[in-house]
Amino acid sequence: MEKRPVGRFAPTPSGRMHLGNVFAALLSWLSPKSRGGDWILRMEDLDTLRTKAEYAELLRDDLRWLGLDWDLETEAQSLRSAVYDRYFEELKEKNLLFPCYCTRSQLHNVNAPHLSDGTYVYAGTCRNLTEAQRAEKKRLPSWRVMVPDREFALTDLIQGDYRENLLTDRGDFVVRRADGVYVYQLAVTVDDGESGVTEVVRGWDLLGSAPRQMYLQELFGFRHPEYAHIPMLMAPEGRRLSKRNQDLDMGALRTRLKPEQLIGVLAHAAGLTETAAPISAVELATVFDWAKIEGRTEIVVTELDTLYR
């Protein structure tokens, strides 16, 4: 028997929800709800400079307005450093961590191989420093986890096959910053693992994070979830509907539309329905199927005009 699905939505409360976030929330809700599963909400507020409690409250209010009810809200990440400490110590005991003293400019050195998304491959500079060399350093280190020379592969429900050799494509990556704050990769792995998440549905921009998270899942003894990375929303004329479209944030959308109208437009764009007719999230769950979305590299919001009426 298939395991009871557990999905989640893990927004960063750093502003009002935008059309793209609404779409991610909707799909992450539909997938488990169409199969009698649960949906968890979690605030990813590690970046305390950008996130605010009032944005988290607005997010909850926007989700309720959309009719996306959550079964459980797990503890916000900013409250969980003691939990992350335990996993960090576990890695340390396994001798998988090392302190890294590189400055930002050393890391982004023009000689370092760069990935297409602008990030660099860590050259292993601080991996083999001796204790004496470490003692000479005058700055607080970040902590990196050593990665194996091995491919991590997944079959994404939308994007298909994706693989990365962690050593040659990424290099050892940071799990705790020099100021003691844990990074997204560690926190998300611990939180998804501890809450029994079976599927991760989120924006396409995080596809490249999945192999690192799969490696940490392996180290911590968590099962790999299924992944679905959602393509970027596009306007009919080929323009990206980015966060800069302020007129497509929930503050504006809610003044112009009913939730069923907004969901109807998104469902149609995703290929879930034949028309953009209004539909509730609950009704949409009865026709939801990943096979209808699979293989899409772009999602064009053909009925974009409707969102401005």
Contacting residues toward ligand GLU, per CB under 6 A? 10-12, 44, 188, 202, 206
Q: Of 97 and 188, which has the nearer Cβ to ligand GLU?
A: 188
- The C-alpha atoms of residue 48 and residue 31 are separated, in whole angstroms, by 30
In the complex, what is the shortest distance from the CB of residue 206 to ligand GLU, in angstroms, rounded to a whole number?
A: 6
**Closest to ligand GLU by CB, 209 or 261:** 209
Sort strands 160-165 and 151-156 into parallel, antiparallel or unpaired: antiparallel
Tokens describing residue 275: 């028309």
SS3 content of the chain, % helix, strand, coil (to 5): 40, 20, 40
C-alpha dist (Å) from residue 142 to 101, 177, 181, 196, 240:
7, 5, 9, 29, 35
Min CB(77)–ligand GLU separation in Å:
9
Rg (CA), the chain: 21
Q: How far is the CB of 225 from ligand GLU (least distance, A)?
A: 10
Query: With respect to ligand GLU, which residue has the nearer C-beta, 33 or 202?
Result: 202
Whole-angstrom distance, CA of residue 228 vs CA of residue 230: 6
Identify the CA nearest to 122 among candidates 162, 168, 155.
168
CB 51 within 8 A of CB 14: yes
CB of 231 to ligand GLU, least distance (A): 15
Minimum distance from residue 205 beta carbon to ligand GLU (Å): 8
> Toward ligand GLU, which CB reaches closer, 56 or 262?
56
CB 45, min distance to ligand GLU, A: 9
CB of 40 within 8 A of CB of 8?
Answer: yes
Q: Which is nearer to ligand GLU, 12 or 261 (CB)?
A: 12
Q: Tell me whether residue 88 or residue 204 sits nearer to ligand GLU (CB atom).
A: 204
